[in-house]
Amino acid sequence: MNLFGTVNLASLIGIIIYLIWLPVAVAAVMQIRFLIGCRKERTAAIIFATILQFIHLFARLFGLPLIAGILFFQGWKLEPIFVFAFFFLGLGYLSELVMNFKNQLDALHLRKNLSNPQARSI
């Protein structure tokens, strides 16, 4: 099940995950910066959310390139049914990453608009 004779679906998902890796890692860093810098109170919920974001950042920084490399370099060894399964698993993971990235960008824009109110004309 190779595309163009060289890249199969698992390798293609590996390439796509590797391309999206850096923007989603930057979004995780921005989220941690917001949680640490903008919160004056140190409640247990904020500390727990910050710890979870650090775990999320670690998984994005080191886990995504590892998964992408394994799929790209070892994807050709998989049987066709496993390639098909990893393709859909990768698509599901990518859709979760893109939606999470979009939500974090929307929250960033909302925070910027709330911190810099401008006069609006009617």
For 42-85, the pLDDT digits (tens) are: 778 778 877 888 888 888 889 889 988 988 888 878 788 888 88
In the three-class reduction of DSSP (H, G, I as helix; E, B as strand; rest coil), residue 8 is classed as strand
**What are the E-state strand segments in the chain?**
2-3, 7-8
For 102-121, the pLDDT digits (tens) are: 887 787 788 777 766 665 55
| Segments making up each domain of the chain, as ranges | 18-114
Question: With bands split at pLDDT 50, 70 and 90, how would you rate the model's confidence at 24?
Answer: confident
Closest by CA to 35, choosing from 53, 8, 17, is: 53
Q: b/e map of 83-100 (b: 16 or more CB within 10 Å)?
A: beebbeebeeeeeebeeb
